[in-house]
Every structure is written in C-alpha cells, then in structure tokens.
Amino acid sequence: MPPNNEREKYCFFIINNDDIVEPPQSSEIQNAFVKGTLEEKKKALKTLIKLVSNDDNYPRLLMPVLTNLQLNQDHELKKLLFLYWEVVEKTNLDGSVKDEITLACNALRKDLLSPNEFIRGRTLRLVSKINIKSILENLVQAVIENLTHRHFYVRRNAIMCIYSIFSNTGTDLIEDCIDSIESILINETDLSTKRNAFFLLFHLSQEKALSYLKNLMTATDDPVQEMGDIFQLIVLEMLRKLCKIEPSQKQRLMNAIFMLSNSKSSSVLFECANTITQLTTAPTAIKIAIQSYLNLLADQNDNNVKLIVLTKIMELRGKYAKLLEDYISDILNTINEEQISSLEINEKVLELTTELASSRNIKEIIGFLEKEIVRARKMDESGDQATTTNEYRYLLIKSINTLTQTFPETIPNVLRPLMDSFLMFDNRSTYTSLETILFIREIIEVHPEHRQSIFEKICDSFEDIRSHLVIRVALWIIGEYATTQTDVDRAFDTIKKNVGSLPLYKAEANDNQNQEETKSSTSSGPKVITKTIILPDGSYGTETIVLNDPAQARLQNQGTSNSNDDNLPLRRALLNTDDDYIGSCLAITLTKLAIKSKKNLSGKFNQMSIDSILIICALLKGQQSNKKRHSDPDSKQRMQLCLRILSNPNGLSSLSAIESLLVDQGKKVFSKFLETHSKLNTGKKGKKGEESLLITQPDEMVVFRQLKGRTGATDFDITEELSGEGNGMNENEDFMNDVRKNIDAKIYQMTGYSDPIYAEAFVEVHHYDILLKILLVNRTNKTLPNIQVELLTQGNLKIVEKPLPTTLRALSSQTLKASLKVSSTDNGAIYGYITFDSASGNVPNIININEIQIDFINELQPAECNELDFKKKWADYEWENKVHVNTASATGDLREYVENFAKAMNVKLMTPITEQDQLSGFLVSNLYTKSKFEEDCLINLSIEKALVGDGTSRITGLIRVRAKTEGMALCIGEKCKALK
C-alpha cells in the first residue's frame, strides 16, 4: 500500500507515447542534453516529457536539464521546459522539496521578471499549477510584482496565479496584495483582466468587492450595458454564492441581480434567470425569470439554445404552473414556421402546453391547435421531410388526446378540424389517419353526447378516406352506432354509394360483357336511316344516321361507370389491396345494419338484405376468381356466415342470439376494453390537478432553515426546505442489501487465489464508456517489478486507455484503471494476461486471466410507453426476432408466467391482465424496456395453456422481439431463449 504521507499528484495533461517503441536510458537523454545540437536537445526533451507524463520517473535528469537547457533562450525550448517543470515530480518520498527544484525556483524567478511578456505570462501559468507552499514562498513576491506590469496579458495571468496561491495556501502569502487588486479593478481597461480581478477580490475581501459593485451600479443611468458580458457573468456567479452562504444578504443583493436581467447578452440573460429561480420563490421575481427565458426563445435562432431554454421552463412547471399559464401565448409562438425545423422543440412546446392547460387559457390553446391541424395538413411530405411531418401530426393528435381527458367540453372544437384534415391521408401518412380514427372511436364510446355529430361527420366524409386500415375502423363505427332507422338508412346508403356498381372485379365484368355482345350480335344490329339534305352551296346530298347501336352505348356506359367507380376509396381498397379483412368487415357491417333495420320494423329490410347479399356474393366471387392472391379462410368464413343469416329471413324471427353476437356484444366488448386502456374516462378527470396541489402532508415535520447555521447551506436551492421521508431501519437495510448485491454483481475474479498475483475487476458502465478498475494483490513475499496487464477484447469493445505498468512490493496491493468504448448493445468479452519480470529478468512470467463477459442486456431498465407510441414503434422498427415457447408448468397459470418473465427480463408489462384473460386459456401481452444506451425494445408475448396426454400442463406460444438495431433484437432474443 502507498504510504499515508504520499502527496496527491495532479495531472494537467497527458501525452500519448505509443511512438516510443523502446524507452531510452537516462544516460542517452543526458548525452543529448550535454553534447547534442539544439534540435537534438528539443527531441530528447520531448521524449522525456512523454515518459514522465506517463509515470516513468527520471530523477537523475533534473540537474542536466537545469545546467544545459534552462539558460537557453530559444522560444520553442522554453515552451518545452515549462511543460517539463509542470509534470516532473517535485518532492521526495518524505514530502520534502528536492534540491534541484529549489535551484529551479531561481530560474523561474528570473523568468517571472523577464522583459518578454510571453515568458512572464507563461511562467505565471506554470506557477499557478504548483501547490507546494515551500516552493510558492520563493516565488510569491515576483508574482505580486507582475500585477503592475504594463501588458494586460501579464496582469491577467498574475491575478489568476495569486488566486491559485490563495486556494492552495490561504491568505498567509498574499495579505499585502489586496489593495493592489482593488486598484487594478478600478483602473483596468481590459475586460478579461477586470473580470479576474473582481473574482479574486471577492474571495479575498467581500466587503471591498461589494462596495465596488455598488458604486458601479449607481455611477450611470445604464450601468449594465457598460459592463461586458463576461464581467456580468462573474458578478452573477459571485452573488449567487454569497446568497447561498449568507442568506441574510439576499434581499440586498437581489436588486443587482434584477438589474442584470436587462442585459442584452443571451448568456447573461440565461444565467440571470437561473440565478433568480434558485434564490427566491417570490412571484414577481419568478415572472422576471420567465420573461427572460421567453425573450431568449423569441430572439435565438439556434435550436439547441431553444431546447435548453424549454427544458428550464419545464423544470419550473412543477412549482410555478399558475404563473406560467399567463405566458402560454408566448410559449406557443415558438411554433410559428411553415416547415418543421426541429421536431424536438415542437414536442417540448406541445408537452408544456398540455401540462399548463387550465380553464383560463384552454380556449387559446384549442384555437392554436385548430390552426396547427390545418397547417399540418398542408406540410411537405416529400423526401426526408415526410417522416418529420408525420411525427408532428402524431404529436398534435397526442396533445389533443391529453387535453380532452381534462377538458371534455373542447371535443367539438377540435374534432371537426381533426376529421376534416387527418382522415384522408394514405401511403406514408396512413399512421396519422389511423390514430385519428382510433381516437374518434374512443370518444364516440366514452362521450355519448357526441355520437350523433361524429356519426354524421363520418358518413359525410367516408368517400374521402383513402387508407384501407382507416376504412375498416370507420365501417365498424357506422355499423355499431347507427341506432335509429334514419341512421341505419344513411349508413347503408353511404356504404352502397362507396361500393359502386356491381360486379366488382374485372374478370366478372368481362364475362358478362362477352355474353351480352354475343346475344346482341345474334339478335339484331343497329338501325340505319338515310335521307336527302341540301348542302351550304345549294347542291343536294345524303346523310346516314345510325340509331340504337348497342356496342356504342355499351362503351359509353362502361367508360362512364368505370371512371366514376374507380375513384371510390372503398371500392379501390376492396379491389387493389391484399387485405381480405376489409371484405369481412364490410360484410359484417352490412349484416348489422340489416338486423337493426329488421328490429326497427322498417319496410326497407328486404331491399337492404338483397343489396347486402349481392355485395357479399360479389366479394366472394371475386376472391374465388382471383387465383393470384391468397384469400384468408377466416374472412371467407365470416362472409359466408353473413350470407347465411341474410338469406334466411325466417331465421330472423328470433333475434336474441344474433343481436347479442353482432349488435350488442361488440359494443360491450369494446366498452370493457376501454375500462383498462382508455384515458378519456371521466373518473380520472382532475386527478392530476389534485395531485399537483398536494404539496405537504398535515403531519409532516416542519424544518426551520434559520436554525441550521451556515453548515446547513448546500448547492441546492436555498429556499427548499429539506425534510426526511421518515424511512425505517428495515427500508434502509433493504436498500443497503440491494446496493451490496449490485456491487457484487459487477466484480469479476480474473486470477486464482494461488497465483502470485491475485486480480479482480470492478466494471462500471457509463452509457457508451466502460471503466474497468483492476485490483492487483501481490501474494508473494518478494517485490514483483514491471507488472503489466494486457487486455484484449471481442465484439464491439475498443480499449481507449490501457492499464499503466506498476511494481508491487511484497504483500501489497494497487488499483489500476482501464477505459473501453462500446458502440452497440452487442455482447462482448474482455480477456488477456498479466506479465511481470522474473528474478533473472530474462523470461517474463505470464498469468492468464479469466474472461469477463460484458452483457449489456443485464442493464435493461423498465420504461414507460403508452399504447399509441408502442404501436407506432412496432410499425417503424424493422428488426424482429421470434422465440418459440414450450415450457412445462405445474399450474398452467399464464399470468404467473408473464409476471415472472417480466421480472426476470427487467421489463415493463404494459398490458393489464384480468381474471377473464386467465380463464380464456390464452394470453397476449405487450412489454417495453430500454437499454443503458437509450435503445428501445418491444416485446409481444402470445401464449396459451395446453394439456398433455399425461394430464400435465404446458405453456406454448411465441415471443416476438422488435428493436431498432439488429444487435438489440438478437441479444434480447437470446436472453428470452435462456429464460423460456
């Protein structure tokens, strides 16, 4: 172990020495210093600096450097000497200063008084990095003399050098320079030097610094503009520190901070707002801070700055939501562009807006969203802009969904522009239309008062819907919520109009056309009439008129019908898409409407049934004639069932079973589904607002900050009252046990206990960086020299910093560090060997180390994801891994299996499991998680309980894993295979 009196080493820079294949001997470097040319001396000194900066000690070269290099006036050599004196070891093992360093102080003192400004300033920077008091005592007087130098570069570095001396030794060595610093502060013209002087004077004498600041603030009418931005920033920093250390002076100093909020500098404005929010909770002061943030949002064009400012505003939302509500219009003005420049900015603005919505500003927010919906409809969808546009449309739908949870009265205002703008998208924007119609479906069930208006609007705009996925949902809505006979007739007429003329498929149409042509050709031809007419020149001529030409009439009718019918989205979806499910949806909807018409005792029932049968028969015949496309047997079976129901009117005399299945049961199932998945239930309304008002409990302990003294002040907001949660000893013990288990899981044994060197590694994962702390223990009674740990990697791991060579005394230990970079979540391995010199020094000893498996999947973190985001990511991510499940189970409890799977994988279970799900014998659930690298992973678990012949139960099914990257999907899949 190192001795207790060993001084901590400071490293200000490190230089790579990989270009040095074999380190030179001390005698070789010394000969270069003594007998070499100037270039050889520079090269040798560079080599020495590289070796010393990497912990190779050359103590015998201190005197050759002093005698042969220090007096040389070459500028490049001088720069190298400053680096050398910075990294060289200056003390002995007992902590005393080396004699050579004492001699070097004389040379440094001469450089501090050199006529060259650069040498003076560079020497001052070197002295500021020395923290040994006995060395500084010899140099402090020369440093103070530089405060009055004519060049500002020297004065600036002299001030920071004095601050470094003050930080390391206190005021013992610099008590006489306070007046000089104050004089520099008053008379200095260079802004950087003035900033450094105020910084130093504040630490040496707060009274004089505050007195100078007070005089500066009252000297002119606009003192803030006369200060530079860097001076204003240091003033803010010092005032903030003083207020936290001495809260009694806060009232006196806040006026200066308020004056600085009028600065034109963006950085000063930002720091001033941060300072105000940390020091006070007064509403007037917080409004000044909020206005400063909003001014930055309006004036800055940099998207990164806007993101930072919006993050700060969102941090104020928890405490000052009421104050932020008055500035909602200024926040919304951040989104004022025709095209989206930054989706993250728009997302934060919409999130902040929905959180700040109240009865006072909801009209303004809804008006803004109506305009944004119309604007988003006209946005560019070409190239890469299409993804951004669709993302923004989805954010608008998500914001409207959130607002309607708390303010149901806004539904009519947002629903009409939403349905007018977002239902007609197709191709790349289909997801936007689908989310819109799903949102409408939820509203029409949860809020019955809007059913009629939504129903009428869907019927009116049905022919504008282009996506077959949206058409399926629209068919279900108009089939379920058409209650009165008027609604049934309107819904049926809408569907029939959008189906178009029969037959549907071309093959069927061609057969009929050929038959008609054959009949017309055999029966009769066209009728021809010839008559005499007078031509314009007075002569006579003949005119032939053809009447009742069947072929021409057929061509005209066919062209007219085809041009009209081909523009119908429902007909086009039935003919051109491979989605057979839309045909079964259409058949079931027509059957529902016919049953409702029969129930309402309408006279149109017979005609409605006949039309429905013709449409369904056309669908079935088209599927049968189209040999190229594979038809879904389930959809075909549903359509055949609908035909059986409609073609047997006598069977409809008792509608109880059919109504329960088609008319009533569907709505009941959907209502039950919304009980666990809907966010529009009125029972949850106002819960969020009530939680935000619950600040403290009645029996919570009261803390008096004034009784804490200065030791109670922390770097946190001084206005925060610190109070304990009152956790018991059992909770603390559980917490410590979890911490110990977490630490033990990260320790890997690298060598055995009987090896000469015992080694173990502690692995810390910091996002894309891996820190490896290797503990080496010398198990022998001899000193082991030149111990080197050679690490090799497998996978996407790359060694950035290798462990440094070391020497271990008998029975001592030391910790080495190594840094690695990782580029993805793919599993990797670290292996290698440890070498140390033998007693003879000829052949090194080698110890192989155990392999360390780096499994990043163990770092999975459960994360929150709503259902809409999950479905969107599931559609976007292309990498999928499927794992089959076939596990023996004593109880066959599906719920227990899913919960154990989620716990073992450390993932979030998104689908609530009910008792009915368990009794059904099969279960489908979604799970979500994130890695340390913020990579999403979506898991869909579809399982069922199966009984084997011997009476035991087995759980079978499929696990589908989707991720954005291939490595993530493969790694999660392998872990699922190990757990199944």
∠ Cα 308 310 313 (to 5°): 115
Q: Measured between alpha carbons, how far is 504 from 624 in angstroms, rounded to an integer? A: 13
First to last CA, the chain: 48
Q: Measured between alpha carbons, how far is 462 from 470 in angstroms, rounded to an integer? A: 10
pLDDT at residue 574 in the model: 82
Say yes or no to pLDDT of 732 above 70.
no
Q: How confident is the model at residue 291 (pLDDT cuts 50, 70, 90)?
A: very high
The b/e string for 188-219 (b: 16+ C-beta within 10 A; e otherwise) is: bebebbbbbbbbbbbebbbebbbebbeebbee
Q: Which of 45-54, 133-142, 254-263, 971-980 has the lowest mean pLDDT?
A: 971-980
Average pLDDT, integer, range 314-337: 87
User: Which candidate, 163, 137, 136, 128, places its Cα nearest to that of 10?
Assistant: 128
Say yes or no to pLDDT of 686 above 70.
no
Average pLDDT, integer, range 41-56: 86
User: Can you list the alpha helix ranges (DSSP code H) found in 378-505?
Assistant: 385-406, 411-422, 430-446, 451-460, 468-480, 485-499
pLDDT at residue 689 in the model: 42
**636 or 553: which leads in pLDDT:** 636
User: Which candidate, 577, 598, 586, places its Cα nearest to that of 635?
Assistant: 586
**596 or 950: which leads in pLDDT:** 596
pLDDT at residue 681 in the model: 52
For residue 119, what are its two tokens?
Answer: 């040498």
| Cβ proximity of 403 and 365 under 8 Å | yes
**pLDDT tens digits for range 415-474:** 888 888 888 777 777 878 888 888 888 888 888 888 898 889 889 888 888 888 889 899
pLDDT at residue 19 in the model: 73
**pLDDT tens digits for range 73-109:** 888 998 899 888 888 888 887 888 888 888 889 889 9
Q: Measured between alpha carbons, how far is 372 from 376 in angstroms, rounded to an integer? A: 6
* Rg of the chain, C-alpha, whole Å: 41
**610 or 561: which leads in pLDDT:** 610
What is the DSSP-derived secondary structure letter of residue 901? H
Give DSSP secondary structure letters for 600-662. TT-TTHHHHHHHHHHHHHHHHHHHHH--SSPPPHHHHHHHHHHHHHHT-GGGGS--HHHIIII
Say yes or no to pLDDT of 717 above 60.
no
Average pLDDT value for the chain: 80
pLDDT at residue 92 in the model: 85
Q: Measured between alpha carbons, how far is 473 from 582 in angstroms, rounded to an integer? A: 9
Say yes or no to pLDDT of 759 above 90.
yes
Q: Is 161 exposed, middle or buried (0-12, 13-18, 19+ CB in 10 A)?
A: buried
Dihedral sign for Cα 623, 624, 629, 630, please: positive
| Cβ proximity of 697 and 468 under 8 Å | no
**pLDDT tens digits for range 619-641:** 888 777 765 566 778 888 888 88
**pLDDT tens digits for range 821-837:** 886 666 678 999 999 98
Most confident of 217-231, 284-298, 573-587: 284-298
For residue 374, what are its two tokens?
Answer: 């119309």
**pLDDT tens digits for range 700-716:** 566 565 555 544 444 33
Dihedral sign for Cα 912, 915, 916, 918, please: positive
pTM for the whole structure: 0.65
Say yes or no to pLDDT of 607 above 90.
no
pLDDT at residue 630 in the model: 62
**524 Cα distance to chain centroid:** 76
Instruction: Using alpha carbons, list the distances in angstroms from residue 455 to 53, 386, 444, 459.
Output: 78, 31, 8, 6
**pLDDT tens digits for range 794-803:** 877 888 888 9
| Cβ proximity of 51 and 23 under 8 Å | yes
Average pLDDT, integer, range 497-508: 74
**What SS3 state is found at 833?**
strand
Give DSSP secondary structure letters for 142-165. HHHHGGG-SSHHHHHHHHHHHHHH
Say yes or no to pLDDT of 537 above 70.
no
**185 Cα distance to chain centroid:** 46
Rounded percentage of the chain residues whose pLDDT exceeds 90: 14
pLDDT at residue 969 in the model: 85
Say yes or no to pLDDT of 970 above 80.
yes
Average pLDDT, integer, range 382-387: 72
pLDDT at residue 538 in the model: 65
Say yes or no to pLDDT of 511 above 90.
no
pLDDT at residue 710 in the model: 46
Say yes or no to pLDDT of 690 above 60.
no
> CB-based contacts of 828: which residues, under 8 Å, 6+ apart?
793, 794, 795, 796, 797, 822, 853, 854
| Cβ proximity of 811 and 817 under 8 Å | no
Q: Which of 497-506, 662-671, 722-731 has the lowest mean pLDDT?
A: 722-731
pLDDT at residue 720 in the model: 39
Say yes or no to pLDDT of 264 above 90.
no
pLDDT at residue 694 in the model: 42
Q: Which of 173-177, 338-342, 473-477, 813-817 has the lowest mean pLDDT?
A: 338-342
**pLDDT tens digits for range 403-412:** 988 898 888 8
Q: Which of 175-189, 708-722, 895-909, 932-946 has the lowest mean pLDDT?
A: 708-722
For residue 532, what are its two tokens?
Answer: 């005499």
What is the DSSP-derived secondary structure letter of residue 267? H
Instruction: Using alpha carbons, list the distances in angstroms from residue 335 to 40, 302, 375, 685.
Output: 63, 14, 11, 28
pLDDT at residue 715 in the model: 37
* Amino acid at site 857: I
Say yes or no to pLDDT of 509 above 50.
no
**What SS3 state is found at 881?**
strand
Bond prior to 756 in cis (omega within 30° of 0): no
Instruction: Using alpha carbons, list the distances in angstroms from residue 888 to 74, 613, 980.
Output: 82, 49, 10
Say yes or no to pLDDT of 696 above 60.
no
Q: Measured between alpha carbons, how far is 677 from 135 in angstroms, rounded to an integer? A: 72
Say yes or no to pLDDT of 524 above 60.
no
**513 or 321: which leads in pLDDT:** 321
Dihedral sign for Cα 139, 145, 149, 153, please: positive
Q: Measured between alpha carbons, how far is 493 from 597 in angstroms, rounded to an integer? A: 13
pLDDT at residue 910 in the model: 85
